[in-house]
């Protein structure tokens, strides 16, 4: 997607052979690429920001599930605000911000992506408890415990990112072959560990939980249609059936979208361990990031409270006194 051609200008002419060459793109490629990626980045920022404002502002939305969704929205917001524009700049321009900013960029990328994936796992666990153990959910999953889970999620991502980028953090710029470049060199060992930690394990947990949720939802739907079911149980199932099936459908869409966005990226990682530096794999990197745009659509747009919140936010009604107590559910 980005080809350096003979005769291209240097990023830093005063450095002569120590400088990288400026990326040369066809005019049509440059315009279409930047417009498309800018639109995706702006959409990611906007949708996740709406989720952040909604959950933070309205008291009715201060629930364990929504605090986990808030954590996911914050990490995905950073992907749209920093990582997507950063990738656009890396592939279309010379890196002019120095080695320290380069390693900070990679660190923030690792931190936010790890947090996003960890948040999805916690949300899956929350929905599993709510659907499979509804009578014990309110006691086992509290707002305070959800906040602890969020803190644990970000702390884990913080520690993992330091370990993953330890060499770059100790000596920034060691992966760069010339000035004007911001790359990250990986080995098969680090890539394998990263795939296990940030892909295989989370996907396994999510799929196992979803299969359990799906089985329970189907069994309860069958109980609804059974004439042998007791009246009290029948009433309880009637009230919970709709939300349970919606949760099962939401988790199902999560699994499909998650795998669709991440599988190509991680599969290519086995072929090229330095995928983030491969111009041929640029589309896979952005497909990976595109998952952060789809997450809020999956978790928020499926619920009526989000549509109500958007209306109140866009019309600036949230600025009115007492708007925090608005009946949003």
Domain boundaries defined on the chain: 29-325
For the chain, the distance separating the N- and C-terminal CA atoms, rounded to the nearest angstrom, is: 46
Indicate the length of the chain as a whole number.
329
Tens digits of per-residue pLDDT, 272-286?
Answer: 666 555 555 677 778
The residue with greater pLDDT, 217 or 264, is 264
Specify the range with the lowest mean pLDDT, choosing from 41-55, 68-82, 265-279, 307-321.
Answer: 265-279
pLDDT at 261: 85
pLDDT at 28: 62
> Is a pLDDT exceeding 50 seen at residue 46?
yes
> Is a pLDDT exceeding 70 seen at residue 198?
yes
pLDDT at 220: 66
> Is a pLDDT exceeding 70 seen at residue 324?
yes
Q: Which of 262, 110, 103, 109 is nearest to 183 (CA)?
A: 103
- The SS3 of residue 22 is coil
pLDDT, mean of residues 65-80: 91
> Positive or negative, the Cα torsion across 50, 128, 213, 266?
positive
- What does residue 217 show for φ and ψ, rounded to 5 degrees? -65, -40
pLDDT at 1: 40
pLDDT, mean of residues 138-152: 90
Tens digits of per-residue pLDDT, 11-30?
Answer: 777 766 777 877 766 666 66
CATH number for the domain formed by residue range(s) 29-325:
1.20.1070.10
d(CA 289, CA 283): 10
pLDDT at 3: 42
Q: What percent of the chain has pLDDT over 90?
A: 16
For helices 282-299 and 231-271, angle between their N-to-C axes, nearest 10 degrees: 170
Confirm if 246 and 253 have CB atoms less than 8 A apart. Answer: no
**Confidence band of 153 (pLDDT split at 50, 70, 90):** very high
Q: Which of 259, 324, 293, 227 is nearest to 73 (CA)?
A: 293
Q: Would you tell me how many other CB atoms lie within 10 Å of the CB of residue 18? A: 12
Confirm if 173 and 99 have CB atoms less than 8 A apart. Answer: yes
Our measurement of the distance from residue 63's CA atom to the centroid of its chain's CA atoms, rounded to an integer in Å, reads 20
For residue 236, what are the contacts with CB-CB under 8 A and spacing of at least 6? none
Long-range contacts of 18-22, Cβ-Cβ distance < 8 Å, separation of 24 or more? 18/178, 18/179, 19/178, 19/179, 19/180, 20/94, 20/177, 20/178, 20/179, 20/180, 20/181, 22/93, 22/94, 22/180
- What does residue 171 show for φ and ψ, rounded to 5 degrees? -135, 85
The predicted model scores a pTM of 0.84
pLDDT at 124: 85
Q: Would you tell me how many other CB atoms lie within 10 Å of the CB of residue 323? A: 15
């Amino acid at each position: 997607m980005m080809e350096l051609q003979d005769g291209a200008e240097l990023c830093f002419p005063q450095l002569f052979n120590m400088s990288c060459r400026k990326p040369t793109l066809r005019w049509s490629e440059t315009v279409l690429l930047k417009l498309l990626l800018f639109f995706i980045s702006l959409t990611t920022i906007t949708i996740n920001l709406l989720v952040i404002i909604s959950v933070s502002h309205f008291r009715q939305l201060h629930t364990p599930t929504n605090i986990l969704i808030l954590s996911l929205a914050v990490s995905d917001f950073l992907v749209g605000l920093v990582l997507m524009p950063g990738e656009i700049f890396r592939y279309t321009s010379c890196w002019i911000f120095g080695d320290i900013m380069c390693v900070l960029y990679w660190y923030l990328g690792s931190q936010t992506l790890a947090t996003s994936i960890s948040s999805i796992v916690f949300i899956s666990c929350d929905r599993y408890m709510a659907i499979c153990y509804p009578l014990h959910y309110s006691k086992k999953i509290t707002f305070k415990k959800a906040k602890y889970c969020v803190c644990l999620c970000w702390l884990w991502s913080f520690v993992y990112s330091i370990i993953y980028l330890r060499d770059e953090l100790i000596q920034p710029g060691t992966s760069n072959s010339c000035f004007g470049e911001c790359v990250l060199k990986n080995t098969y060992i680090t890539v394998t560990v990263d795939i296990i930690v940030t892909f295989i394990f989370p996907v396994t947990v999510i799929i196992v939980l979803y299969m359990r949720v799906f089985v329970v939802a189907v069994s309860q739907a069958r109980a609804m249609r059974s004439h042998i079911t007791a009246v009290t149980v029948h009433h309880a199932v009637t009230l919970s059936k709709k939300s349970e099936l919606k949760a099962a459908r939401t988790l199902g869409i999560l699994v499909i979208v998650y795998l669709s966005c991440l599988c190509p990226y991680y599969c290519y990682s086995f072929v090229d361990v330095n995928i983030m530096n491969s111009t041929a794999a640029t589309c896979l990197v952005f497909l990976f990031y595109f998952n952060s745009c789809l997450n809020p659509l999956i978790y928020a747009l499926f619920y009526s409270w989000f549509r109500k919140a958007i209306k109140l936010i866009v019309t600036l009604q949230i600025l009115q006194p007492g708007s925090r107590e608005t009946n949003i559910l």
